[in-house]
Structure 1
């Protein structure tokens, strides 16, 4: 594409955005938020696949690698350089779908629940609204994510990696309950703490949110997202360990509940925290960038950034 073609394309894109301003809380708004969620989540989760790979393997077998660096060196030496991105394809599509559901439905339920309880309740207890909206959104989003998460974990925890084999389609959902236990608290903390952190940041700043530039507002989004990521990674980590172990080690004739009980007996309470430092770094980084990308996307299409209202 020539420079003139790029200029023409950019002109028509900008004209389209300016000529059709999206009304906040319209159907177009919720669809745009879903698209923004997919754009934010698919590449960020894919970016940290090497960290996720070592984390999952250490969760399944804590003695496999002494450190992340040693894990990457071993993987590259025994499986090839490209192997550190094992599972990136199901990660990209799985978390793209999940991101669309999570962000789109969050905005939808936040509006619906706020209308249901009224402005006085929201003014006093907005954290409860954020938590309820994010929990509802994540419940739906995980239905999209679960099959691809199962494929990802199975592929990452099989050494050497190979195309995973599942007995039937239903077995792809064998980890849905542990996934809900991991993702719903995770997302409740992620969204509610983000909203409150951003709110507090703007309260401490000398000017109103609207008086700051787009770059400054997205900087606040990144900061709030990173802190929220650290909090939600810690809260959801035990369930994350169980999801990895259930997807990797569940027996064909075993219920999810029995699998969780058997695995917990093997690893104990201490084992639920295997790989936590890695996950804190991973989730903090990707959550910060997710909010940065998501709010940058919203600004680009003419919508306000999230939080601080």
Structure 2
């Protein structure tokens, strides 16, 4: 594999590359889809006024100008950049830890535990940025961005204001992350084993990155459906549409939690997750690392085994 630099797997530099790659890929992709995110949040908070993708964009531009579509861009860039660094970097770390500890355990269990553990820390890092971002996107008079939004939120609600949405954020992102990473891992294995029918190391970089994109899109689509109810709750909670999660569920309706803003979320999340995995794995390839997917373990004799090509 051609690369301009070589990084030893499972070293401090390796986890640094994973964290840095996750930060750059997540921050850049979330920044790019800020207009869709602005529309999605407004559809969740005011579904009568913003009842479709095209009509919603038209309403926002007509009433507030085209610049309104980029409200909250700094929260997307920095908030999701920090979250992405924690999520991808810690996932690789926990996957190695759990893989060594739970040698006889099914791989799916290791993927679930690793992604859940990483996401817990990632959402703690994201939560303050998300609290400001949602208010900026739905309350035009609240603040222009993070610089004035952070001090205003702290002055109005104190430290609790930054983290009162942490539980529903976990409720949204934990299932999404667990399903997304696990779906990605199994999709990569399925593509190599059943479709390409070659080992990863026998494929070119372009072929490996193509596998990454296919698996990434599948992972994003499945994860979106699972996490949609909690995403609606997060938006409503931050905008004080109800005093409690149970009241929000009652107001929106249980079935509507799964369907409200789902088309626009699929339009957002599928391509975003695909691009995140593509950028993330491209950075890994450039540093001499294999693309993502699979388990590597240290057997008892200390020798490192390669990526598994079959179950």
Instruction: State if a TM-score over 0.5 links the two structures.
Output: yes
Q: Which residue number in structure 1 is paired with residue 133 of structure 2?
A: 152
SS at match of 2:10: coil
Cross-structure match for 2:281: 295
**Deviation sequence 1:112-138 (CA, Å, 0-9, x none):** 0011112x43xxx10110110000000
CA displacement at 1:221 relative to structure 2? 0.3
Structure 1 equivalent of residue 62 of structure 2: 77
* Distance of 2:267 and 2:65 partners within structure 1: 25
Aligned to 1:244: 235
Counterpart of 2:244 in 1: which secondary structure? Answer: helix
Give the aligned partner of residue 121 of structure 2: 140
Aligned to 1:49: 34
Decide which moves more: 204-213 or 225-234. 204-213
TM-fit CA distance, 1:271: 2.9
CA deviation map 1:261-283 (0-9, x unaligned): 22122111133131011111211
Q: Which residue of 2 aligns with 1:219?
A: 210
Greater helix share, 1 or 2?
Answer: 1
Correspondence for 1:191: 181
State the aligned residue count.
Answer: 282
Distance 1:197 1:206 in 2: 13
Q: Deviations over 1:46-101 (max 9, x none)?
A: 11111111111111111112311111122222212221111111110000000000
Q: For residues 300 and 176 of structure 1, what CA distance do their matches in structure 2 show? A: 35
Deviations 1:172-230 (A, max 9, x none): 10100000010011000110110000100001213221111111111110110001100
Structure 2 residue matching 1:249: 3-state secondary structure: coil
* Runs of 4+ in structure 1 over 6 Å off: none
Contact 1:79 1:160 in 2 (8 A): no
Structure 2: give runs of 5+ residues left out of the alignment: 295-306
Q: Which residue of structure 2 lines up, in the alignment, with residue 178 of structure 1? A: 168
CA distance in 1 between partners of 2:187 and 2:181 (Å): 10
Q: CA deviation at 1:161?
A: 6.1
Note the residue ranges of structure 1 that are not aligned, 5 or more in a row. Answer: 1-12, 252-257
Match for 1:264 among 249, 256, 272? 249
Give the secondary-structure state (helix, strand or coil) at the position aligned to 1:302: coil
The alignment status of 1:233 with 2:233, answered yes or no, reads no
